[in-house]
Amino acid sequence: MKKVLALLSVFALITAMASSCEEKQSSSESTDPHTAMNALDWEGSYYGTLPCADCEGIDTELRLNEDNTYRLTTSYLGKEDTQKETIEGAFEWLEDGNTIKLLGIEEGTRSPFVKIEENRVRYLDLEGNVIEGELENYYLLTKGGNPLVEDMKWQLVEFDGKEVKESDPDHYYIMFDSKVGLAHAEVGCNVLNFAYRLKNDVEVQFTQDMMTMMACPEDSIEDEFLAALKDVHRLSIDEDTLLLMKGETTPVARYILVKEKSNEDL
């Protein structure tokens, strides 16, 4: 009798261990670490021009956020009455872990399916399939941004070829916030906020300026700075120096990196 009980105990133990292994294997298989969702740094903004049947192209910006929300901004190039259209909402991952569906897209108006690839996204057709043929690579949006510029503070030290003598990092600065796509700046008066697009590391576009409405002193350079910023379409980075450029060779403003203080400096 004792031998029978011992054998039953061993059998029960083996069965429990096998069941546990199967559960672990099933759990491991259900979470594939090699999908875009798990393996790629997909959060960020993606830019490009998509094909258009009756215009020169669809200028497209797709912003994907860590909380699975998105902002899609499009404008139809070559049309006189074109206006930017912005759609915001949530997105969901499909079972393959590489494709997302943008929720809130009106059915039949455009494809809600986007495949996530390394530093780019690929628009799919209305059924979620890859668009093949001659236009296959025209449905790509490339990831923008530059980690050497964004999410750090830059102090303004020179503007329009002249030294900013009263400069300090609390009142003369610019910061590019990659999380929300806003540049925050100050030139001794109001806090200035600009939506920005940063492509190919150094190509920049500032839009939608917003600012506090404090009256500035007569010697303020704020008006000149705002006017000059409209002509800035390029950045130049050299170690701890950032230049806002007008054209290829004309610097509008020069900034230096504000480094965080270490415990030894305190």
Which letter does DSSP use for residue 217 in this model?
P
The answer as to whether 87 is a domain residue is yes
Residues 184 and 255 in one domain: yes
Closest CA to 86 of 101, 102, 99: 102
The Cα angle at residue 49 between residues 43 and 51, in degrees rounded to 5: 125
Distance CA 203, CA 248 (A): 11
- pLDDT at residue 31, rounded to an integer: 56
Residues 137 and 209 in one domain: no
Residues 238 and 184 in one domain: yes
Per-residue pLDDT tens for 15-33?
Answer: 554 455 454 444 444 557 7
Higher-pLDDT residue of 146 and 264 is 146
The answer to whether 74 and 51 have CB atoms below 8 angstroms apart is no
Given pLDDT bands bounded at 50, 70 and 90, which one contains residue 214?
confident
Residues 132 and 202 in one domain: no
Q: Identify the domain containing residue 210 by its residue range.
A: 153-259
Give the pairing of strands 120-123 and 140-143: antiparallel
Does residue 7 have a pLDDT over 50? no
The answer to whether 60 and 74 have CB atoms below 8 angstroms apart is yes
Task: At 127, list the tokens.
Answer: 């059924």
Task: At 179, list the tokens.
Answer: 């999380």
Q: How many domains does the chain have?
A: 2
**Mean predicted lDDT score pLDDT of the chain:** 85
- Final residue before a domain boundary, out of 79, 110, 143: 143
- pLDDT at residue 13, rounded to an integer: 46
Task: At 113, list the tokens.
Answer: 């399916």
The answer as to whether 238 is a domain residue is yes
- Final residue before a domain boundary, out of 109, 143, 177: 143
**CATH number, domain at 88?**
2.40.128.640
Tell me if residue 96 falls in helix, strand or coil. coil
Question: Is the model's pTM score more than 0.75?
Answer: no
- pLDDT at residue 264, rounded to an integer: 47
The answer as to whether 228 is a domain residue is yes
- Final residue before a domain boundary, out of 143, 170, 205: 143
Does residue 238 have a pLDDT over 60? yes
Per-residue pLDDT tens for 29-81?
Answer: 455 778 999 989 999 899 999 999 889 999 999 999 999 999 999 999 988 77
